[in-house]
Structure 1
Amino acid sequence: MNKEIKLLEDVYKQLRVAELVRSKGEFSKKFLGKSKSYLTSMAARQRHISSDVMVDLSEAIIAEIRAKRDDRYVADRIALRHAMIAVNGYLAEQTIPPCLKKSAPSLPAQIQPAPFPKISWMNSLIGIWQV
């Protein structure tokens, strides 16, 4: 299982335990914006999950947190924030140039900027802490 699929499976399990989704199909539609069979299909085929899907997941989680502002949803918001931390940690790791990671032996002469999928992810992330 590749690390993107493992992350999606872990987030799905967190949200299922919190009773925020009932199935992988519901998770795929509601949080990934994909077809009901997306997660199952991608896992079975060991496909790579694009950064855009991860960004969409982060944004969907943030939107769900914002929608649950009422005090009766405190437990839901906690579960969603744990999921958001996992996804945003993955996204942050993808944007750090390899030469700056702990395992890098030395800095190269010229550092190439890391690709960044969507700027809206960052704006959404900043906005969530105002909730």
Structure 2
Amino acid sequence: MKRSAFTLVELLIVMAVIAALISVVAPMGLNALKQARTVEVAGDYRGVMQEIIGLVAGRGKPIANTAINTNSYKTPFSIATTSAYVYTITASGTSFDKSKYDGNYLQGALENTRNSTIFSPDTFVLSFSVASYIYN
């Protein structure tokens, strides 16, 4: 007599194998999404930093503290100056959810910024000296 269908045990084994594969692949996929978002934020940080450097170099004088429309962008920033040429960029605002980003990965992505870079993964703050970019 020929068997024409799967047994319940065979179906359960296949389902267990599929569940095991999903449990291995899902965290890797979520981590990849988190790192992709983090790369986007790092690019935004670098863009804001380059814009500040360009403004200061073009005007020849520091710019004042400002907030970049903190609820309209994917990565809302506020910019503060502690001295004439040292700026701090902070990701903040209601549309910025830190749990979606990998702070350690972001720190690594911004590690190559020149001179006095201070970054805290918990607060998403980047400090840099414009003078080191303009005058060096």
Relative to the length of structure 1, the TM-score reads: 0.29
Larger CA Rg, structure 1 vs 2: 2
Higher normalized strand content (fraction of residues): 2
Higher normalized helix content (fraction of residues): 1
> Which of 1 and 2 has higher RCO (CA within 8 Å, sep 6+)?
1
